[in-house]
A = this chain, B = another copy of it.
Amino acid sequence: MTHDITVIEKGSVVSPIGFLAGATYAGLKTYGEDRLDLGILTTEYSQSQVHDTRAQVTAAGMFTTNLVRSPSVTLSQSNIANGAARAIIANSGCANCCVGQQGLSDAREMADLAGGKIGIDAKEVLVCSTGIIGVELPMALIRSGIPNVKLSRDGGHEFARSILTTDTKTKELAVSFTIGGVQVRIGGCAKGAGMVHPNMATMLCFLTTDAAVSPDVLETALNHAVDRSFNMISIDHDTSTNDSVLILANGAAGGSDIQAGTEESRLFEQALESVCISLAKMVVIDGEGATKLIEATVKGAKSIEDARAAARAVTSSNLVKSAVYGNDPNWGRMLMAAGQSGAYLEESKISLYINDVCIVDNGLPIPYFKEAVVANMDRPEVRLLIDLNLGDISATAWGCDLSEEYVTINSAYTT
């Protein structure tokens, strides 16, 4: 993060002005010690200092590309299509996926109930579900749970806990920075793609800001940030049925709407990107069985597509991931992964560095001090740099190593 962007201590999704959150245990999640499984996040619309020229709280979202998807995703996509939304209701324990038409009815009822509780239209509510695929939402538990959610200005941490499944910790962050003389904030929380239990697979991220942002600027900034953060991480090469990243902007900090193409929009994009990258890295390092974060940067590419494809391929390869787990500077696997990525490259021009130590220069291995590199890989973050030496475009991807524990977790059904 640059010096212009300050991390807020113990920040959360309610760090931006005018947001409320809360959570309860409705009884959906049958595992985990610290159970909360139903959360609501909203803006204090009626009392807010929302910029009075704008009646709406703007919103933007990005969703899974999997053709098998939860009706909760379908409903949220529909409700956010107009660039506006005021609340999110999320449950963990059940993904509301592969349950036919009932899933859409249940998602609608969740939006209805949350809207009624807050006093807004159901169409202004987004719904997210994560957990087991193929069982219907226990709506009786959700109906009786919603009244127990206490919305408050310090409910952010509880909300962050309520969306977890097999995650071992919450992922939260908030930052503040100044735009056009006005101090604004961005807050966020996320959950990872933990899958200890059968049929569980979801990455969720909820973002809030009190900056005044028009829908188009918000959508552009979210796309920009997600392409450089959540779309650049991989735990196990599998795309969930429920992935969603949502942002609500209530303008409560005051000031004029950020306009497209301005220095202000560039600064907002940059801040949102930094928040998303931090949360994405938290998701990866808490990946199932993960012991290390792998950061792979590809530079010198001819296009951003090439740079991203090669960087993602390196962090997604089972062979690279296993090698990093074993502190093995196995550069051949890294070149193999880049070579099969679809990115254009020329073997004779590639240089490769592990934790800043050059291992391959212009396609040829150099006599590096192997013992030192092995010792250096035995730490929580391993950095790989591949220079294609063809252009000036770069991209960074993040992944985790692959340990025996990953397999144990994901094959544990019968034990």
A residues apposed to B, CB below 8 Å: 65-69, 95, 97-100, 132-135, 195, 198-199, 201, 236-241, 316-319, 322-323, 325-328, 330-333, 335-340, 343-348, 350, 360, 363-365, 374, 402-404, 406-415
Contacts and interface: CB of A to CB of B under 8 A. Distances in A.
A306 to B, nearest CB: 11
A333 B374 CA distance: 35
A241 to B, nearest CB: 6
Most chain B C-beta atoms within 10 Å of own C-beta, residue among A66, A68, A132:
A68
A10 to B, nearest CB: 34
B413 A337 contact: no
Contact of A236 (B67, B318, B406): B318
Contact of A68 (B95, B347, B410): B347
13 contacts: A68-B350, A69-B339, A132-B332, A236-B319, A241-B339, A322-B409, A323-B410, A326-B412, A326-B414, A327-B414, A328-B411, A374-B414, A406-B407
SS of A interface (majority)? loop
Contact of A336 (B133, B333, B409): B133
Nearest to A339: B68
Given A201-B319, A330-B198, A66 B340 contact: yes
Given A68-B338, A336-B238, A322 B410 contact: yes
Nearest to A374: B414
Contact of A318 (B134, B237, B327): B237
Contacts of A133: 332, 335-336
Given A67-B339, A331-B134, A332-B199, A237 B238 contact: no
A204 to B, nearest CB: 16
Contacts of A195: 319
Contacts of A346: 67
A20 to B, nearest CB: 34
A414 B332 contact: no
Nearest to A403: B407
Contact of A319 (B98, B238, B336, B404): B238
Contacts of A403: 407, 411
Contact of A237 (B317, B348, B374): B317
B201 A98 contact: no
